[in-house]
Amino acid sequence: MTEPEDLNFTAFTDLCRLCSLKSGPRLHIFDKESEQRQILFKLRTCLPTMISKDDFLPKKICERCVTRLEQLYEWRQSCLSTDSVLRNYAESMKIVTSTINFQYGFESRQWKSTYFYIGDPDVIRRNRRSGGTGIVKLLHVEKLFTCIGVGTSD
């Protein structure tokens, strides 16, 4: 970073607004190209800095910082998109309560159980009862889901 005592006003305004370097090409934040590339929008979206035409701070950004800003913005958008997809998927996997009828041997039991909705109508393939826990394997699903409930005889 350049020390303030080494700068005059012209040198100060030529500094990069983000890294304070003064070498290399710089893009003016408020020019036509920056507007087309949405530089000000990306700055305001990604960084907590306040940037205004009326402040007395440099209005240019070096190419290195422009590249970093655009990468940060793209990464932020990707993270938000992933978050949305995951939240929608989690919403579709809401816990639902259902009554599952199991039959094993000569006995028939009805269990009130809570399980995760898988998305398509998977079929119960088998049940093994151990204590108060029933283990359910669903077709098309590799995991065993444990349904804890109270068994009642018919």
Q: What is the CATH number of the domain that holds 39?
A: 3.40.1800.20
Q: Write down which residue in 91, 113, 141 finishes a domain.
A: 91
74 plus 123 within the same structural domain: no
Q: What's the domain count of the chain?
A: 2
Q: Is residue 79 part of an annotated ligand binding site?
A: no
Share of the chain above pLDDT 70, in %: 55
25 plus 99 within the same structural domain: no
69 plus 39 within the same structural domain: yes
99 plus 85 within the same structural domain: no
Strand segments, DSSP code E, in the chain are 26-28, 60-62, 95-104, 107-116, 124-130, 133-138, 144-148, 151-153
Q: Write down which residue in 66, 91, 116 finishes a domain.
A: 91
Better pLDDT: 6 or 150:
6
How many CB atoms sit inside 10 A of residue 53's CB? 8
Task: Encode 19-49: b = buried (16+ Cβ within 10 Å), e = exposed.
Answer: eeebeeebbebeeeebeeeebeebbeebeee
Instruction: Return all residues near 25 (Cβ < 8 A) that are at least 6 apart.
Output: 62, 63
Q: Is residue 16 part of an annotated ligand binding site?
A: yes
Domain of 66 in residue numbering reads as: 4-91
Share of the chain above pLDDT 90, in %: 38
Q: Write down which residue in 49, 74, 91 finishes a domain.
A: 91
> Residues 29-82: pLDDT tens digits?
999 999 999 999 999 999 998 899 998 899 999 999 999 999 999 999 999 999
Q: Is residue 19 part of an annotated ligand binding site?
A: yes
Q: Is residue 65 part of an annotated ligand binding site?
A: yes
